[in-house]
Amino acid sequence: MMRSIYPKFATHNAHTLSAINYLGENKNYEFQRLFGMGELLYKCAENVLNDQHHTSIYAPIGQYKDLLPYLVRRLLENGANSSFINRLLDPDTDAKWLAAGPDKKIENERKDIPLPCNIFTNRKNSKGLDISEMDNLDTIKTEISKFKNQSVNAVSIYQNRADDGSKKHDIFSLADGVCIGSVCYDNHTLIKESLEAKTDLNWPKVDVKQRAQILQAISNELESNPYQLIYYLMHEAGKTIQNSIDEIREAVDFLRYYSNQMIELEERDGKLDGPTGEENILTYGPKGHIVCISPWNFPVAILIGQISAALITGNKVTLKPSEHTSILGFLVVNIFHKNGVPVDALELILGDGLYGDLLSKLNNINGIAFTGSLQTAKKIQTNLNDSQKEILPLIAETGGINAMIVDSSALLEQATDDIVRSAFDSAGQRCSALRVLCIQDDIYDDLLEMIKGNMRELKIGNPEKLDTDIGPIINQTAKDKLEAYITTKSKAGFAIYQSSLDSMEQHISPTIIEIGSLNDLKEEQFGPILHVLKFKSSEIDNLIQDINNTGYGLTIGIHTRIESRADAFSQRCNIGNVYINRDIVGAVVGSQPFGGRGLSGSGFKAGGPNYLIQFLNEKVVSKNSVAFGGNAELLNIQED
């Protein structure tokens, strides 16, 4: 069956117009221009190009509230420094340069545009899976189906119950899936003794490049065969297929980024400035024994980020993943052991919060990396203060009452997509998720209506169905807490909107709660609950101050088309990660190092240039070379 396509090209760019004229010779098409714009351009085109194609004129039609933002966008675009119209009217712009094709400009300036896999200078970018392609979806379905109803080869993955009803816990080194500790019935003494036993560890003596090769091998395995982890991310952590793929990519990036970073640290000459006759050298060494306590909401990415940083720096690691994602913790550690990380360099502890408490009291640790709640972080800090002779570092990433400010100049369609992803992706179970949306009053009703419409399109359900947008809440206790909060707010008179009122066993519908001030929020609600706040333009200074006064400082979003305003807002916010005109989740290793301040965490940012320093001790050796028989520097001076 023959079909014909009649193209229409809307442009006010002379180069685009001439290119279409050249490429479309003897073809049937037409141009379009906006009413009141481009008249001179098209008149010249008719004369210079002898272009006889029809040019249609279109104009926006609608109400004031729709037309004004549209016209503002046109003005902003045409007034931008990079705009063709702006440069055309600039007398200092060379006409030949302006008319040159983009490919010629790139060629003349010798700028290479790298492929996605090569966008980073010293490492390969992680590969993704495009789930908009049916072939990829079919492959994923086939591969993950292989793990359905299969048991994991580990001893007592979850906490079991003894015959007398008391808790039964095992400590595992999962190189071969056997228990190296004793089975204990709430007896922490034997566990503590087993973990504190002294061993002659060889891992710190392994050359840093060899350690890096091991981590690179792990990254390659994760990238080439991610399907088992994808299956358990979906079935144990409740992740959607896209979130599962993204998480493995982040883990791969951590492994490669930290490996290269440690090699660079090791290869620095370490020479410091000083007077002639004196040599000062700075070197790094592992702290010793690092405890890593990882969360259930990123049971692969954050877990691997923590242990890869600690291992590449030469430390021994004891890992305790969340009890909600023990299988994933086991699978990851097994991959590390299989690829060459010694069993005694990476220990795995499975169990509930009692074990995190126990680990923070061990007498042979030299630091803790933790991601989780603020309350747990403060408990760990107290344990370290009470149990350790030394002042040990706590690298903590906690949550936040993360905000987004949307002013009246924002592009509402873009803001809507970014808001919904920030607030409801992963069922709102991200520490970086959007918790309070601040909308300027001029656009409040329109933007809120758009958000609600978008929410209604989200599919809530089982992540095993690959078209699911919103997965389950991690467990019943968390679900009950979120539902109780929504009920309390409703009884208190707050306006509440939920995209679905259907009763769901393990899910909570994306929810909006309209509030009057930030004081209406007392703590973070870790789920798909978005608080919405209206503000006037004159109140923006007070709003930013209120956000700072919460004490949290993890993420914030700013949506505005006025660049000076975006810069001013970002400078005044005491927040670790500021995102402008985009969503506020999904930080990329090496590009958006992630971490907060204040109540949202301590230490340098994960996936950033300073993170590894926290796992290392520094040593400076100062040598008076004169005492060894003279100043060699002076003797080696030569005249020009």
pLDDT tens string 541-597: 999 999 999 999 999 999 998 999 999 999 999 999 999 999 999 999 999 999 999
Looking at the chain, the whole-number percentage of residues with pLDDT higher than 70 is 88
Of the candidate ranges 34-43, 62-71, 225-234, the one whose mean pLDDT is the lowest: 62-71
pLDDT at 304 exceeding the cut of 60: yes
Of the candidate ranges 95-99, 376-380, 401-405, 468-472, the one whose mean pLDDT is the lowest: 95-99
Catalytic positions = 397, 431
Residue 513 CA to residue 296 CA, distance in Å, equals 26
pLDDT at 280 exceeding the cut of 50: yes
194 vs 469, residue with greater confidence: 469
Check the CA dihedral 132-133-138-144 and report its sign.
negative
pLDDT at 103 exceeding the cut of 80: no
The answer to whether 390 touches 427, Cβ cutoff 8 Å, is no
pTM score: 0.85
**Beta pairing partners, 617:** 285
Q: What number of other Cβ atoms are within 10 A of residue 221's Cβ?
A: 15
Most confident of 59-63, 174-178, 394-398: 394-398
* Residues with Cβ within 8 Å of residue 188, at least 6 apart in sequence: 354, 358
Q: What number of other Cβ atoms are within 10 A of residue 448's Cβ?
A: 19
pLDDT at 211 exceeding the cut of 90: yes
The predicted pLDDT at position 255 comes to: 98
What's the Cα-to-Cα distance from 365 to each of 261, 262, 375, rounded to whole Å? 24, 22, 21
Residue 361 CA to residue 364 CA, distance in Å, equals 9
The predicted pLDDT at position 152 comes to: 65
The predicted pLDDT at position 89 comes to: 72
Check the CA dihedral 620-624-629-632 and report its sign.
positive
539's tokens: 């109140």
141 vs 170, residue with greater confidence: 141
Taking residues 518-525, report their average pLDDT: 92
pLDDT-derived band at 12 (thresholds 50, 70, 90) equals confident
Of the candidate ranges 91-105, 403-417, 471-485, the one whose mean pLDDT is the lowest: 91-105
Rg (CA), the chain: 29
**Beta pairing partners, 618:** 284
310's tokens: 């600690």
HSE, CB side, 13 Å, CA atoms: give it for residue 330.
Answer: 26
- Which of 271, 261, 253, 254 is CA-nearest to residue 208? 261
pLDDT at 357 exceeding the cut of 70: yes
- Which residue's structure tokens are 């242990």? 307
3-class SS of residue 390: coil
- Which residue's structure tokens are 């949550």? 399
Residue 571 CA to residue 373 CA, distance in Å, equals 27
DSSP 365-381: --EEEEES-HHHHHHHH
Residue 132 CA to residue 627 CA, distance in Å, equals 71
pLDDT tens string 281-290: 999 999 999 9
The predicted pLDDT at position 155 comes to: 40
Residue 271 CA to residue 620 CA, distance in Å, equals 10
3-class SS of residue 543: helix
Domains and CATH numbers, the chain: 8-116 (no CATH), 204-398+611-618 (3.40.605.10), 403-597 (3.40.309.10)
- Which residue's structure tokens are 């009246």? 408
- Which residue's structure tokens are 């926290």? 614
Residue 234 CA to residue 330 CA, distance in Å, equals 16
pLDDT-derived band at 223 (thresholds 50, 70, 90) equals very high
- Which residue's structure tokens are 């680990």? 359
The predicted pLDDT at position 25 comes to: 82
Check the CA dihedral 142-148-153-158 and report its sign.
positive
